[in-house]
Amino acid sequence: MTGKDTHKNMATIYDVSVLAGVSLATVSRVMNNNTKVSDKTKQKVLDAMASLGYKPNTIAQSLASNCSNSVGVLVSQLDGPFYGPMMTQIETSLRVENKHVIIAAGHSDEVQEKEGVDFLISRGCDALILDVEAVSDEYLITLSNGDTPIVLINRYIEAIKERCVYLENEQGGYMATDYMLSLGHKNIAYISGPMYKLDARDRLRGHQRALAEHNVLFDPELWFEGNFREFGGIDAMQHLLTLNKPISAVVCASDQMASGAISVCLEHGIRVPEDISFIGYDNIPFPTYISPKLNTISNPIHEMGKMAALWVLKEVYKDKKVSVESCFSPQLFIRGSACPPK
C-alpha cells in the first residue's frame, strides 16, 4: 500500500463466494434472505463471512438496489430545546431497522430550507422527515408529489394530512388560558408566537376561545406577538409592563418566552406567581429545575419524532409491524408558576 492509497481493503462478496464455494448471487441471497437458500449452503456462506470478517458495502448495495437506507431529517434549528429529544427518537427508531439519519438545518429561512431539501434528495435519501416553517404549503404539496416521500412534523396541511404528524395546538392554547381563568384570573396577557406560523395562530385561537367561553373580552393590547424565543418574551414583558394595565396572569405560547418574561418580572421586583402568574407551552426540560417551576402545556415533540420515523418505516420501508398515529393531544402540567389572583 502506498502512502497515497487510502483504500479500505475489505473483503467483498466475491471473496466470500470463493471461500464458500458458491456464486455471488447465493451470497447476496443469504444476506438479504428474500430467496430460499438451503440450510447447508447458507451455513457455508455464513461461515465464510465470519472468517473473512465480511461487512457488506452499503454504498454498493444502495446503488444496485436503488435504496439508500437513509432518511433525511431537516429541522429549523439543530440547537434549542426541541431538536435533541426529537432526534433521539428518530435516530433510535430508525437505527434498529438499520436505516441511517442524515441531517440538515433550515434555519427557519425559506431559501435554506429549500436548499436543505435539495441537498438531502441529492444525497439519495429514501424519505425526508421535515420540521420546517419557512416554506409554503404549496411548496410542500408539490414536493410530496415528487419521487422522495416526505413526512411533516409539527405542521398540518389539509391536502397531505396523511403525511403530517402534529399537535392539537388550538386545544393546548385553550387549556392554558382555561386554566388561568379557572384560577380566577381575568386580566390575562398573551404572548404569542409569530403569526406567520400556524401553530402560533392555533394557540392564539385556543386562547381566544377560552376567553370567550368564560365571557372575558379579548383585549388586543394585552396580546404581544413574540418569536417563541427568550428574547421575544423579554421584549413582550417589557412592553406589557409599560402599559400600566392590571395584569394578573400571562399566558405564553412557549416556555422560552415565558422564561424571558419571568426574568423581566423578577428584575422589576415583581413576584411570580404571587404578583403575576405564568404558564408556558412546550414543557421543555430546563425550567423544571428553576424557581418558580414553570406551569406548561406539553408538546410531545419526541413522540412526534418517533411517529414520523415509524411512518417512514411503514410507508417507505413497508414494515408491517408498526402502526402510526399522527395527531397528538397536549397536556397541562401544573407546577409552581401560577396561583389565584389577589
Q: Mutual orientation of helices 39-52 and 24-32 as an angle, nearest 10°?
A: 90
Residue 103 contacts which entry, a copy of itself, DNA, none (Cβ below 5-8 A, type-dependent): a copy of itself
70 interacts with a copy of itself by CB under 8 A: yes
8 Å CB contact between 198 and 156: yes
Q: Is residue 188 helix, strand or coil?
A: strand
Radius of gyration of the CA atoms of the chain, in A:
26
From the list 38-46, 121-129, 172-180, 218-226, the region that binds a copy of itself by CB under 8 A is 121-129
> Binding DNA by CB under 7 A: which of 47, 51, 63, 88?
63
- Which residues between 218 and 257 bind a copy of itself (CB under 8 A)? 230, 233-234, 256
Which helix (H) or strand (E) is 116 found in, with range? Answer: helix 110-122
Q: How far is CA 189 from the centre of its chain?
A: 28
Instruction: Count residues near a copy of itself (CB under 8 A).
Output: 58
Could you tell which of a copy of itself, DNA, none binds residue 41, using a CB distance below 5 to 8 A set by kind? DNA
Using CB under 8 A, which of 62, 108, 187, 238 touches a copy of itself?
A: 62
Q: Are 154 and 164 in contact (CB under 8 A)?
A: no
145 binds a copy of itself (CB under 8 A): no
Residue with cell 430546563: 286
By the rule CB under 7 A, 65 interacts with DNA: yes
CA distances from 283 to 172, 226, 265, 302 (A): 12, 18, 21, 11
Nearer to a copy of itself by Cβ, of 26 and 112: the residue is 112
Q: Which three cell numbers stand for residue 206?
A: 385556543
Contact of 65 with 124, CB cutoff 8 Å:
no
Q: How far is residue 250 CA from its own chain's centroid? A: 26
24 touching DNA, by CB under 7 A = yes
Q: Does 340 bind DNA (CB under 7 A)?
A: no
326 near DNA (CB under 7 A): no
Kindly report the backbone phi and psi dihedral angles of residue 318, in degrees, each rounded to the nearest multiple of 5, phi listed first.
55, 40
Among 1, 6, 36, 122, binds DNA (CB under 7 A): 36
266 is an interface residue for DNA by CB under 7 A: no
32 near a copy of itself, judged by CB under 8 A: no
- Comparison of 177 and 337: residue with beta carbon closer to a copy of itself: 337
What the block records as the C-alpha cell of 138 is 404549496
- Here the cell at position 246 is 392590571
Q: Is 38 in the site for DNA (CB under 7 A)?
A: yes
Residue given cell 407546577 in the structure block: 335
Q: Binding to DNA by residue 40, rule CB under 7 A?
A: yes
If one asks whether residue 61 binds DNA (CB under 7 A), the answer comes out as yes
* Interaction between residue 100 and a copy of itself (CB under 8 A): yes
Could you say whether residue 73 binds DNA (CB under 7 A)?
no
Nearest CA to 216 out of 225, 207, 224 is that of 207
The reply on whether position 34 binds DNA by CB under 7 A is: yes
Contacts with DNA, residue ranges (CB under 7 A): 10, 12-14, 21-26, 28-29, 31-32, 34-38, 40-42, 54, 56-57, 60-61, 63-66
